[in-house]
Amino acid sequence: MQWVLQWALQFARRSPKTFPMNTPTNPLIAAAFAPPVMEARRWLDGVRPAPGRPLINVSQAAPTAPPPQALREAIAEIALEDAAAHLYGPVLGLPELRAEIAERWSAAYGGTIAAEQVAITSGCNQAFCAAMTTLAGPGDEVILPTPWYFNHKMHLDMAGVRAVALPAGDGMLPDPARAEALVGERTRAIVLVSPNNPAGVEYPADLVAAFADLAGRHGLALVLDETYRDFDSRDGAPHALFANPDWAETVIQLYSFSKAFRLTGHRVGAIVAAEKRLRQVEKYLDTVSICPNQIAQRAALFGLRNLGRWLAGERAEILARRTAVQAAFAPLEARGWRLRGLGAYFAYLEHPFAASSAALAPLLPQRAGVLMLPGTMFRPADDPRGEREFRIAFANTDSAGIAALFRRLEKLPPDLAPLPQGA
């Protein structure tokens, strides 16, 4: 026994030399910004909520409630009864789920999508990374409307792909003509998120069509992230891209089961794209996850088959909250606030203060009992617009909470600025 202790001691003494701490870091990873939601969580460290004023956290666009009871029971049964749910499965996903998506999407979008044109991924973020990895490499360019979804930008940075910012114009909508002026030799794709994170806006069908046309003319991919599709206020298909029999030459659609069925922690999403692109996607997915979570895929399939009415209720609730935001925001107008975009889970605001939103956001938990993200997290560092903006992710806050949130913002003093040290 004694010799074991001696050996362990010697090893411990030697190990700093044997395993130096200064191992290399890929400069592309080092240069990428840190996960914004994690950064925002740190602003809560040491914050003591004022009596009777619990924190209103509108920082993250993720359901905090668990999936509905029926889905949790289905997950339990899958875990207990379905032996295959514990094994590796096909890289591109469960064939039944791919077929179900193909059938439902074909009906919903009025087009023809084959099961072979659907891949299942470990969430929509992975869907984006996989699609992008097949499209662009170091030195290539991808056009990203701003304000952007920060994880898109992070992935492109780490892959050495230049994100070319396309600032949204009137109504927070990107302009295809401005996008066309940005297309160059190295452009590989244009990314749209509709309904949009962070601005909430729903892109009109003809705008989406104009982007598809632009992408098609230049031989680019149009990557359309429809994570919030189920909360679109419009009835019927939000665009007609899939009605074009040649859609697969241009369109890559991304989807998430995180929001629809509250499966955030289970990690399941999808890519709808040309079969030949999915053969490239398969190589990427094989190396990063081998297959999507097997229980999660079966849960998503259960959701698609059984939770349509429940999801319709969720959508109605989100739309009611959106109306509550509109009503509760009105008095802030007189205080110099502006509502730039509203929809899906989001309100995108312009604030009236002299200080940057990046300086204000960390103060708000203590000063107002509110946690929300500054616009600087959704824009390039050299775009001053972000300093004037905040994103509110209101999906987890009921109408009473939304009213309380805007009352708190309304009461903020006009000279709101960083507190002196030690205050």
Residues of this chain that interact with ligand PLP (CB under 6 A) are 61, 123-125, 149, 193, 197, 225, 227, 256, 258, 264, 269
- The whole-angstrom separation of Cα 203 and Cα 187 is 22
DSSP 8-state assignment for residue 239: -
142 contacts: CB under 8 Å, gap ≥ 6: 132, 135, 136, 156, 161, 162, 163, 164, 187, 188, 189, 190, 191
Q: How far is the CB of 253 from ligand PLP (least distance, A)?
A: 12
State the residue number with the nearest CB to ligand PLP: 123
Nearest by Cα to 281 from 394, 267, 9, 273: 273
Closer CB to ligand PLP, residue 229 or residue 337? 229
Q: How far is the CB of 243 from ligand PLP (least distance, A)?
A: 23
Q: How far is the CB of 396 from ligand PLP (least distance, A)?
A: 13
- 299 phi/psi in degrees, rounded to 5: -65, -45
Closer CB to ligand PLP, residue 60 or residue 366? 60
Q: Evaluate whether 42 touches 361 at the Cβ level (below 8 Å).
A: no
Residue identified by tokens 């009213």 is: 403
Q: How many CB atoms lie within 10 A of CB 170?
A: 6
Q: How far is the CB of 256 from ligand PLP (least distance, A)?
A: 3
Q: How many CB atoms lie within 10 A of CB 38?
A: 8
Closer CB to ligand PLP, residue 267 or residue 277? 267
Q: How far is the CB of 126 from ligand PLP (least distance, A)?
A: 6
Q: How far is the CB of 285 from ligand PLP (least distance, A)?
A: 14
Closer CB to ligand PLP, residue 332 or residue 347? 347
> Is-cis flag, bond preceding 198, omega within 30?
yes
Two tokens at 244?
Answer: 């074009």
Closer CB to ligand PLP, residue 105 or residue 149? 149
Closer CB to ligand PLP, residue 303 or residue 369? 303
